[in-house]
Structure 1
Amino acid sequence: MMAGDAGAAVLETKDEGPKIPDKNKTKFDVIIIGAGPSGYTAGIYCSRAGYDTLILSGILPGGQLVNTTEVENYPGFENGIMGPDLMIEMRKQSQRMGTTIIDDVAVDVDFRHKPFKVLTASEEYEGRAVIIATGANPRKLGLEGEETFAGKGVSYCATCDGPFFRNQDIIVVGGGDSAIEEATFLTKFATKVHLVHRRGELRASKIMQERALNNEKIKFHWDSAVTEIKGDQKMQQAVLKNLKTNEESTLDAGGLFVAIGHEPNTQLFKGQIDLDEDDYVVLKNKTHTNIEGIFAAGDVHDRNYRQAITAAAFGCMAAIDLDKYLTESADK
């Protein structure tokens, strides 16, 4: 039994060992939409609790981590682990517990009636409860070289990748709180952080602006945009354009961090559950949405941490909350 959460005991006391998945089933106790760290972790916990559990992995099984290289900050891996390998291990563990995993995309849902329905292009699935774990995607610049150098200099997470850029010049694109926070964090590792912003003033909160403006390791490039990313095997340069003068310049840098926000993958749920002004899932209580029996876990609602370990933690929490819900529903 794992220490740290008494609620986990409820899940583990029901464990009767792994089950052999039946991929022809369409009716389940639990349907998990999404297969990143939160989805796989929720699958592990739900299956161990004795529930027939289905994961619909979506278009990118494993989530954002399948597009990353080495992950150094996930506990349990002294020498780090490649992002895709970590997701493969999570997937195997969830399957070993008896979770049915189908690599298909949910195209519609019906949360208005029970049992809840989740539809793919070829099948309709029913579940007594649903965990939404569809994650979020970082907004991209749409530049030449951005995809080519993703994971090879171009990053969307300073906390994840900052230590790989020690003693190098780094570029951060953005002007909001996220960009300033990432630029400030990266000064721990970089020789110089070049912050490129399209406007002549920052959108970040006043206190964060003051910290950045007073940081000697941060250089501001106002009214400018990155127009091209260049390099050989890895990123080596970025082309900057001054939007007022149209003057272009080339900046040598080992890394470019894009910090212009994230887009949660919640289009499927609009009109079904409550979303905030930025389309993140609104949680009523812990991992509960506004509909009883529908839960959310990971980056689909978390705009603050966006780490693999916090996503996994939310998956665990959602599974425990779901177990309590189904147990109490059965008692009624």
Structure 2
Amino acid sequence: MGKVMVLGAGPAGVSAALYARRGGAEVMVIHKGLKSGALGKAELIENYYGLETPVSGAELERRGIEGARALGVEFVEDELVELAYGDDFKSFKAKSPQAEYTADAVIIAAGASRKTVSLPGIKEFEGHGVSYCATCDAFFYRGRIVAVLGAGEYALHEAEALLPHAAKVYLFTNGEEPEAEKIPAGVEVCRERLASLQGGDRVEKAVFEGGRELPLDGLFIALGTAGSTELARKMGVMLENGSLKADEHGATNVPGIFAAGDCTGGLLQIAKAVYQGAEAGLGAVKYLRGKS
């Protein structure tokens, strides 16, 4: 039938994996580590169907994952930095700093992105010098001065995507030390804390807390790790109020990509995530059957 890649091991992701696997697909779940999501950090889950007494979020997460493993679902712990089409433009591939994974359909269930930045100029210049996808927009900054805001592997990946196009690439770590031991050649690290972006119709300069100013044509936001929204943006998935837009069966506007759980917005509850995961899993199976 084909392979389904599920991004996220929370209630939505595991539910999607169960239904896709029972539908006959080979299923791989890629996650950032147990207890990294909202469920794993919850102290107690109570008043939930099937639970006579409260259990910790970590325990409920463990039970769900073990149930999926028993059906043959594969779980891989890794941090993804990119989602793209495969070489045939019919399949998909996901990349981490260490590996590459391929599948015939993708279910994004990596939760809601909760790490944001609130600085003067960020919101005002979105689409006018502030971007969230280097792969998408690097071409528009040919010969320009750009920066990536972030200090992790995801930020470094975005900086590398900009190097072949931009005249100068900075990495704004905002007071943090870069996570990578080796910074790509051509990327200049700036450890000062960013205070604001300034300009007219577009970004013209970055201003740091000490008052220093730096000419700048574009800023790419890549804080923390690549969440559902960031990965989806790179594939052209439509957003609605900052969340992934999916129909009642979990299908996005991009054929073969489905979404479920907190990343779709609305009620952030386990029951809703499990339901949406089931719909997305069934939707992915139906999609694969249509391809064969």
* Interval of TM-score (by shorter of Structure 1 and Structure 2): 0.5 to 0.7
The residue number in structure 2 matching 1:135 is 111
CA distance in 1, matches of 2:34, 2:241: 22
2:41 partner letter: N
Q: Judging changes above 3 Å, is the alpha-carbon distance between structure 1 residues 140 and 84 closer, same or farther for their aligned structure 2 residues?
A: farther
Query: Per-residue deviation at 1:273?
Result: 2.6
Q: Is the 8 A contact 2:11 2:64 kept in 1?
A: yes
Q: Is the 8 A contact 2:35 2:41 kept in 1?
A: no
The question of 1:272 aligning with 2:235 is answered yes
2:80 partner letter: A
Moved >6 Å (runs of 4+): 139-142
Query: Per-residue deviation at 1:126?
Result: 1.0
The residue number in structure 1 matching 2:256 is 293
CA distance in 2, matches of 1:30, 1:62: 22
- Answer 1 or 2: higher relative contact order, Cα 8 Å, separation at least 6: 2
The residue number in structure 1 matching 2:278 is 316
Q: Is the 8 A contact 1:36 1:61 kept in 2?
A: no
The question of 1:84 aligning with 2:55 is answered no
The residue number in structure 2 matching 1:252 is none
CA distance in 2, matches of 1:78, 1:284: 34
* SS of residue paired to 1:130: strand
CA distance in 1, matches of 2:34, 2:67: 18
The residue number in structure 2 matching 1:304 is 266
RMSD of the TM alignment (CA)? 2.6
The residue number in structure 2 matching 1:46 is 20
Q: Judging changes above 3 Å, is the alpha-carbon distance between structure 1 residues 125 and 61 closer, same or farther for their aligned structure 2 residues?
A: farther
Query: Per-residue deviation at 1:32?
Result: 0.3
Query: Per-residue deviation at 1:278?
Result: 3.9
Q: Is the 8 A contact 1:64 1:137 kept in 2?
A: no
C-alpha deviations, 1:296-323, integer Å up to 9, x for none?
A: 011111x221101110111100011111
CA distance in 2, matches of 1:309, 1:53: 22
2:291 partner letter: S
The residue number in structure 2 matching 1:122 is 98
Q: Judging changes above 3 Å, is the alpha-carbon distance between structure 1 residues 290 and 124 closer, same or farther for their aligned structure 2 residues?
A: same
Pairing 1:165-184 to 2, within 5 Å after superposition: none
Query: Per-residue deviation at 1:265?
Result: 3.6
Gaps of 5+ in 2: 119-226
Query: Per-residue deviation at 1:29?
Result: 0.6
1:271 partner letter: K
1:53 partner letter: V
The question of 1:96 aligning with 2:58 is answered no
Query: Per-residue deviation at 1:283?
Result: 1.8
Q: Judging changes above 3 Å, is the alpha-carbon distance between structure 1 residues 64 and 50 closer, same or farther for their aligned structure 2 residues?
A: same
Query: Per-residue deviation at 1:58?
Result: 2.1
1:119 partner letter: K
The residue number in structure 2 matching 1:3 is none
1:48 partner letter: R
The more displaced of 113-122 and 309-318 is 113-122
CA distance in 1, matches of 2:11, 2:23: 18
CA distance in 2, matches of 1:100, 1:322: 17
Q: Is the 8 A contact 2:83 2:234 kept in 1?
A: no
The residue number in structure 2 matching 1:108 is 82
Query: Per-residue deviation at 1:277?
Result: 5.5
CA distance in 1, matches of 2:248, 2:291: 17
Pairing 1:1-332 to 2, within 5 Å after superposition: 29-60=3-34, 63-111=37-85, 113-138=89-114, 265-276=228-239, 278-284=241-247, 286-301=249-264, 303-330=265-292
CA distance in 2, matches of 1:128, 1:111: 10
Give the percent of matched residue pairs that are identical in Structure 1 and Structure 2.
30
CA distance in 1, matches of 2:116, 2:42: 15
TM-score by length of 2: 0.57
C-alpha deviations, 1:197-224, integer Å up to 9, x for none?
A: xxxxxxxxxxxxxxxxxxxxxxxxxxxx
1:324 partner letter: K
Higher Rg of the two aligned structures:
1
TM-score by length of 1: 0.51
